[in-house]
């Protein structure tokens, strides 16, 4: 059985939602950040970076949330959670996943963990990160306006939508969160109504507002 090592509302949320979309049997394994379980030798054997999540699928031990989402989509092609390999749509899937992970998520990490690089300047680092996230959200909102959506790849729902939902969720306490933008607001409302999203949030005991 597939195992997903997770912590509520961490980057494991996207793979968790994808697992619920797939409907295959899986087991959630809590990695308790409150007691630094992700830095303990047992977990570091699974992911030497000490980051959450990790997916175990048979002999495969896989880290990095976006990679896990891609793997799950490719293992369940009939569900069409990712466009066919080699298609233009697949190229756009890669584009948006890379943008969300390498650009948006990287900045959100600075927002949530400013002390890692800022030390006594943590408050400035956090504020600066929030400022830099705002135009990224604007770019995403403008993309939905241009394409007409309803999903980031257009008419087809994909794992990129799951990842975008998680990124938008992480802005919910900012002064100008993703939900304040009209097209992202519509997208988020649609995502929050999906049964897989509801089940994942309930299993992780995540309180409202989800985004």
Sign of the torsion angle spanned by Cα atoms 18, 191, 148, 135: negative
What CATH number is attached to the domain comprising 54? 3.40.30.10
Is residue 207 in a domain? no
What CATH number is attached to the domain comprising 153? 1.20.1050.10
pLDDT tens-digit series, residues 130-152:
999 999 999 999 999 999 999 99
Query: How many structural domains are present in the chain?
Result: 2
pLDDT tens-digit series, residues 14-69:
999 999 999 999 999 999 999 999 999 999 999 999 999 999 999 999 999 999 99
Is residue 184 in a domain? yes
* pLDDT score of 156 more than 80: yes
Per the structure, the complete domain to which residue 142 belongs is given by 88-201
Same domain assignment for residues 102 and 187? yes
Q: How many CA atoms lie within 13 A of 45 on its CB side?
A: 2
Same domain assignment for residues 74 and 105? no
Is residue 173 in a domain? yes
pLDDT tens-digit series, residues 110-128:
999 999 887 789 999 999 9
The answer to whether the CB of 117 falls within 8 A of the CB of 125 is yes
Residue that is last in its domain, among 80, 103, 124: 80
Buried b (16+ CB within 10 A) or exposed e, 187-208: bbebbbebebbeebbeebeeee
Residue that is last in its domain, among 28, 57, 80: 80
Same domain assignment for residues 197 and 105? yes
Same domain assignment for residues 97 and 168? yes
Residue that is last in its domain, among 61, 80, 99: 80
> pTM to 2 decimals?
0.96
Is residue 177 in a domain? yes
């Amino acid at each position: 059985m597939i195992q997903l090592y997770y912590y509520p509302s961490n980057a494991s949320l996207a793979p968790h939602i994808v697992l619920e979309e797939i409907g295959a049997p899986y087991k959630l394994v809590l990695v308790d950040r409150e007691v630094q379980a992700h830095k303990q030798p047992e977990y570091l054997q699974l992911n030497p970076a000490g980051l959450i999540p990790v997916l175990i699928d048979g002999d495969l031990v896989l880290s990095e949330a976006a990679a896990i989402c891609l793997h799950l989509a490719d293992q369940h092609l009939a569900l069409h959670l990712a466009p066919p390999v080699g298609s233009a749509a697949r190229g756009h899937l890669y584009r948006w996943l890379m943008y969300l992970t390498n650009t948006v998520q990287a900045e959100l990490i600075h927002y949530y963990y400013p002390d890692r690089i800022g030390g006594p300047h943590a408050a400035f680092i956090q504020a600066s990160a929030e400022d830099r996230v705002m135009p990224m959200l604007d770019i995403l909102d403008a993309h939905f306006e241009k394409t007409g959506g309803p999903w980031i790849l257009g008419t087809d729902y994909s794992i990129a939508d799951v990842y975008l939902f998680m990124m938008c969720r992480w802005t919910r306490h900012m002064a100008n969160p993703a939900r304040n933008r009209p097209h992202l607001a519509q997208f988020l409302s649609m995502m929050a109504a999906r049964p897989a999203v509801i089940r994942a949030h309930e299993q992780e005991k995540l309180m409202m507002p989800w985004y």
